[in-house]
Chains A and B, each alone.
Chain A
Amino acid sequence: MTSPIISIKNVTKRYPGVVAVDDVSFDIMPNEFFALLGPSGCGKTTLLRMIAGLETSGTGDIIVDGQNMEGVPANKRPVNMVFQSYAVFPHMTVRNNVGYGLKVTGVAADEIAPRVEEALEMVQMGAMADRKPDQLSGGQRQRVALARALVKRPKVLLLDEPLSALDAKLREHMQLELARLQQVIGITFIIVTHDQDEALSMADRIAVMEKGGVRQIAGPEELYEKPHSRLVADFIGKINLIDATVSGTSKAGVTCLAKGLGRVVVPHEGTASGSVSLAVRPEKLTLSDKAPSSDTDISARGVIRDVAYYGDVSNVFVTCADGLELAVNVQNDRAAAGLLENGREVYASWHPSDTLILEE
């Protein structure tokens, strides 16, 4: 069994009046693409900066490659960071920016030049080596920041919201590019992001953070399909949360009395009781103008309130009995044509096994 490249143990960081990072513990494995995901102010950036050594005076242990980072200053840690603002030095050329980290640590000049070239080639910035940062676009500056960190051959690369300043098209491109780079270089990447798509598409594992604490750590698929809590379910993608009360547990699953649905039986591992939420993803629902033939499906009759058209799919909002609102993702294929009109009466239905019972 391989040992973790980074161990976070009971790390806590308090600011006057707030706990930024609240007793967080987890391990990151070598060569992993790890994402810290959460809304702004959840402590993810603080945690990243603590790993980098830029944020001090926290408690707990941060162990990088077997070495406790306690008391090790930022400039002596085997990690490098790509800053949200890129922080590419405006008074140096691209080449000098990338070479800076080698020069200041006393790497011989004849070794610096080829390593800088190599790093710049890696991010396809070789042709721009003699430019100044103000002659570069945002995306190019980010590549320089990447090369500048990677040229140091860190054990772990830290990325603080690296794509937030890029436009949508470029962001998508850079997501693929980052994932490719990580595979080529084979080092651990830790990325901080508030964008769930970014985390889902790039990361091997994702830690969802909220109010300084880690709520769930899992792979993208597990996080999406089996969230542990309402918070995680709601933060990762869109989800319908339906208030329900558990009335009994049997072999077939948990029987609940759900708002707008009545009595439903949902397969569930373990037990559940009291007030819960039934969670179902919008794309698991199907719309039909006839009542579903299968009586095992959960279904609700309602009226289309709103249709948001996105080209390939439409987000349809259906108002059902009891004020239950359901969001449904509909593929805009031939079956959907003519069905999606405001005010039309429809049946929204889904398979019970697509339903999650969330207690938290």
Chain B
Amino acid sequence: MVQGATHIRQDKICQDALLLCENGNASDGQVFSIACVADGHGSDRCPFSDQGAKAAVLVATDILKDLLMNPDPKEMLAAQKDIRLPRQIEARWKETVHKMYLEQEVETPDDMPPFSYELYGSTLLALAAASGFIFALQIGDGDIVAIEPDGLARWLLPPCDHAGNETESLCMDECWKYIRTQLIPIDGESPVPLMFLLSTDGYANSFVESAGFLKVGADIYRMWREHGRDYVQENLPAWLSQTTTDGSGDDIAVAILAKEG
């Protein structure tokens, strides 16, 4: 995760958040990995959106973890992905940021704006990979991309099509209606994607065309394959810093899930 070039110039803190969670202990339940990124809106109307983004990744990870610990998580997700899960994410995120507001420590309480969810507005992208399926969830801008065995990168969920900086957000009324989900069964006999990449919109917005962004996803996979995970992990912050400086100027959070070996 890197702070956006514009945010550094304007002395704004990073509004993105990222959280990874792995459960590799099969005796403890299911083997799974969860990656979440969120992009706090960062505008004047959303002064605490960095906290909203942190709340988003925490809430999503927590809820998904509970679901994935079930004996049949694929069936649970299939039953809950359209309505119950999105509603649960909305309710828990709103409950969390409201609590954050009540506990907010400020130097001059009079300057504290009255509570609204917008103060904490954020997007959310989550990906869970487990035995037998992949599950993606998204509200607002950002990209969840799969690098397939043919080396090409494709979106798991179609990208949002909004004008300007408009984006769907967790702070919206009945935001669960805008949470998009995709459950993809993985069959043991079939080729599976080699890597998944989740990124906040600062990344894709740094490219003039979406093809350029997708190519970068494929390039990262190539680096991973040729030089290994540590090399990518070490160099990714520098690549992202360069990308935001040359491109959107926005914060960038990137999470990568890939099968090793």
Say if A and B assemble together: no
Chain A residues with a Cβ under 8 A of chain B: none
Chain B residues with a Cβ under 8 A of chain A: none
